[in-house]
Structure 1
Amino acid sequence: MPPKPHHPFPTPPCRVCLACHGPRLATLLETATIFRCFALAPDGVAALASWTMPPGGLIALADLLTAADVGHLVCGGATCCCLAPFARRGIAVAAWISGDVADVLPAIAHNRLDALLAPGARPGRIASGPGRPGRPGRRDNLTELLRHE
């Protein structure tokens, strides 16, 4: 089960980085081939920079994003250990998102990133079934989780 998101939803104005493989978000954060940085403002989106994975891996990437004043990272699948370097630097991560860059940016701008949640990913929800009763009262809406955690 994917880890529960821990950070607020990106709202303009902000800088956001998308972990990509070609024109889409990479399936896994650590397999992204390019990281695309954008400035989101109420009046639109501007491409700022792009990077390949630095030689130091995810820790070096977290340092690079911090130096570039990026506050949010949007990626496909990611485990808690992959997210730790970003959390330590105050970078909010929206994981388990899928789609093309052309779809992700408007979803962020319109506060609808939850619509691009990867198939099968249900952050914050415990699956019900034999020996695994669901937990009543737990939120399973990604937008709500990202806004309130």
Structure 2
Amino acid sequence: MPEAILLQDVDQVGEKGAVVTVSKGYLRNYLIPRKLAAPATKGLVETARRKAESEERAKADAVTQANELAALLNKTVLTIPQQAGEDGRLFGSVTTQDIADAIKEARGITVDKRHVELPDAIKAVGTYQVVVEVATGVHATVKTIVTER
């Protein structure tokens, strides 16, 4: 049985870059014509190994950077002034977009509003703990103070 390097993810065979053992007919008649795999040669195996190592290093660097950003955001205190009535209720509300804009203004970090976890819009003056997803699996808690303008 020949070995092949997968050029794309193939269901029930393996993921991109994996070296798999498949039947000759499957390799010759299905995988190669559809450009899903290439025959495993020493050069291709070495190239695939180096590429996998560089991807792992890139993932580790991204996780390190995300943890640094999360640490910075954990120390951040945002103050958002809004118009409010005498009872402390806001005339509008503070939304995830407002919080993302305040983070961008305060720290220069661009955060997508969909990554700001706010169950409901903030509708009263006060102090809130807002969770922000910096990267997949990395969360930061930002202290947000809504004040009367």
TM-score class, shorter-chain normalisation, is under 0.3
Q: Which has the larger radius of gyration?
A: 2
Whichever structure has more helix as a proportion of its residues is 2
